[in-house]
């Protein structure tokens, strides 16, 4: 049966609406959520797109997705949709009762081979340098070891002497009603946060204690698997003080949804106070201890050198005196002559 006029009109109306919906972000129409209405560090209800970021590389990722990748996706989707609509309308049984019999078209085949290659090359020219920047870690200011467990996280600061800080979901955050009553994010608030200083390079080492987990914080644009028996590495540098949430992004068992991440970015002074409270030592304390140990070592070496020099001088002065007390022996012939 051919397509009726009413069916064709309905299809065109649907296609027009779908195309408009897809093209709205590309054409710069007013977004459903302005940037200032989005929550920083946590999801915004009914919002779409990426969370606001607080890292330099995060802004580059946002540009890569919003200004390059997403327009390409929309353009391809619109092209495919237009081709489908054109084929349905133009080549249905009623409009085209005698279909063509050919099966190849060299020009079209070359186009749909070359154009995707060009698109992928353009994407690679921007994505590969960005991946390299994520891989090239600057000299870290703080090293944090993150261990995924079923179903909580453990944080260690190996260079600062802090270990086994367990982070678990708060009971009040497990229920949406109690979470709203307490004013805390649902399924995101924890008892012990991961505390890091602002404007510092944080080296994150991830591993798993049982199964594979994934340490993911959208506001930092980081996602790294925590694999048992392996130490993976990533890094971030938050430029704004605040609280930022994430979740385990690798299916890890029945309580996978109850394994949130809460990162608190604080000032240097507050971070030092936190480390001391946890029984660790700040970098200033470690530097002072190292300087004191170096001074003590230098003083010990100087004392040992002075003692060695004094002993050598004493040995040198004692040698002539010992030589003067020795009486030379007379020859045997001379002794006999003197006795006669």
DSSP letter for 66, please.
Answer: I
- 18 alpha carbon, distance to own chain's centre: 37
Q: Taking residues 255-276, report their average pLDDT.
A: 97
Question: Is the pLDDT confidence value at 12 over 60?
Answer: no
Q: How far apart are CA 92 and CA 75, in angstroms?
A: 25
Q: What is the pLDDT of residue 101?
A: 84
* Domain boundary assignment for the chain: 5-99, 142-284
Q: How far apart, in Å, are the Cα atoms of 337 and each of 194, 200, 239?
A: 104, 98, 106
Name the fold adopted by 142-284: Immunoglobulin-like (2.60.40)
- 92 alpha carbon, distance to own chain's centre: 52
Q: What is the pLDDT of residue 18?
A: 52
More confident residue, 300 or 268: 268
Determine contact, residues 137/122, Cβ cutoff 8 Å: no
Strands, sheet with 142-149, edge to edge from the N-terminal-most edge strand: 162-167, 152-157, 142-149, 202-208, 232-236
Determine contact, residues 235/204, Cβ cutoff 8 Å: yes
Q: How far apart, in Å, are the Cα atoms of 88 and each of 109, 262, 334?
A: 21, 51, 140
Q: Which of 2-11, 124-133, 232-241, 280-289 has the lowest mean pLDDT?
A: 2-11
Digit-coded pLDDT (tens) for 102-131: 888 899 999 999 999 999 999 999 999 999
The pTM is what?
Answer: 0.77
Q: What is the pLDDT of residue 321?
A: 57
């Amino acid at each position: 049966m051919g397509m009726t006029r009413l069916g064709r009109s309905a299809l065109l109306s649907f296609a027009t609406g779908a195309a408009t919906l897809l093209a709205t972000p590309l054409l710069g129409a007013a977004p459903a959520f302005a940037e200032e209405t989005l929550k920083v560090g946590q999801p915004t209800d009914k919002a779409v797109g990426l969370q606001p970021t607080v890292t330099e590389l995060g802004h580059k990722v946002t540009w890569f997705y919003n200004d390059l990748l997403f327009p390409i996706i929309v353009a391809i989707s619109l092209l495919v949709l237009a081709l489908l609509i054109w084929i349905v309308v133009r080549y249905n049984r009623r409009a085209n009762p005698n279909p063509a019999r050919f099966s190849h078209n060299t020009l079209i085949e070359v186009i749909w081979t070359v154009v995707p290659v060009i698109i992928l090359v353009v994407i690679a020219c921007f994505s590969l340098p960005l991946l390299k920047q994520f891989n090239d870690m600057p000299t870290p200011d703080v090293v944090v070891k993150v261990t995924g467990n079923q179903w909580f996280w453990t944080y260690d600061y190996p260079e600062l002497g802090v270990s086994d800080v367990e982070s678990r979901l708060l009971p009040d955050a497990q229920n949406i009603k109690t979470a709203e009553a307490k004013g805390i994010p649902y399924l995101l608030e924890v008892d012990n946060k991961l505390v890091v200083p602002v404007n510092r390079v944080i080296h994150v080492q991830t591993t798993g204690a049982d199964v594979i987990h994934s340490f993911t914080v959208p506001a930092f644009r980081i996602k790294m698997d925590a694999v048992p028996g392996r130490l993976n590495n990533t890094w971030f540098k938050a430029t704004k003080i605040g609280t930022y949430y994430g979740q385990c992004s690798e299916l890890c068992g029945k309580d996978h949804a109850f394994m949130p991440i809460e990162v608190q970015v604080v000032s240097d002074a507050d971070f030092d106070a936190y480390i001391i409270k946890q029984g660790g030592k700040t970098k200033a304390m470690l530097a002072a201890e190292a300087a004191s140990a170096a001074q003590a070592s230098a003083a010990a070496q100087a004392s040992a050198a002075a003692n060695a020099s004094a002993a050598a001088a004493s040995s040198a002065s004692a040698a002539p005196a010992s030589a003067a007390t020795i009486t030379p022996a007379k020859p045997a012939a001379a002794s006999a002559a003197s006795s006669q």
